Amino acid sequence: MKKQIIIAILLAVLPFGYAFYLYPTLPHKIPMHFNLNGEVDGWGSKESIYLLPAIMGLTSIFVFLMLANIKKIDPKRYEGADEKIYAQFGLFTVGFLCCLSMVILYGTAHVGIGINKLIFPLLGFAFAGMGIYMPKLKQNYLAGFKLPWTLENEANWNATHALAGKVWTIGGTLQMISALLLNGPSIFIVFMSITAVMVIIPSAFSYRMFKRGNTTT
């Protein structure tokens, strides 16, 4: 666990190093927000370059600590939860937020690159990665499809997350591919449409299984 904490902290502070590297070359006014076309629609002072790494870094460490200590803070103390798996999942999340921060910082320093062509493939990769972890997640209140039926019944939870793992891995991969092939607002529209399908399919399956008495047949 100590090794994972150290890795998490290093990943969380890495964007600060990149921001520090970029700072001397930045103009007095830098992009702070981008629209669906990847165009800048909000500006701030160059000192704002450190704001994103601070927010992302604190968020990632908080998420990691929550997941790594899931048995201590989860209300039901689910015995089936494997702390190692959740710590790995937390570290994956920290890594993703680190990469996301770096991509946004790069877009801030290189105006006009079309940052949506970088962010949406990365988000798709993250969802595909989450799909790999889905079947490994045991009942808990912090990560996964926390529906009334999945939290109430272990068989429902396991079956739902087995399906969700496949759907999210495929969906995330499609999101990556579509984000690389498409341009403009269509990237966002397709991305969100796939996301909706990724949420609806496992949720509908879980409810249908509940109505059948939590059996898959």
Q: Are residues 110 and 195 in the same domain?
A: no
Residue 123 confidence class, pLDDT cut points 50, 70, 90: very high
Boundary-marking domain end, from 91, 114, 137: 114
Least confident of 125-134, 135-144, 145-154: 135-144
pLDDT number for residue 52: 83
94 CB-side CA count, 13 A = 28
Can you give the pTM of this predicted structure?
0.80
Q: Report the domain count for the chain.
A: 2
- Sorting pLDDT into bands at 50, 70 and 90, what band is 141? confident
Containing structural domain, residue 164: 116-217
Domain limit, last residue, from 87, 114, 141: 114
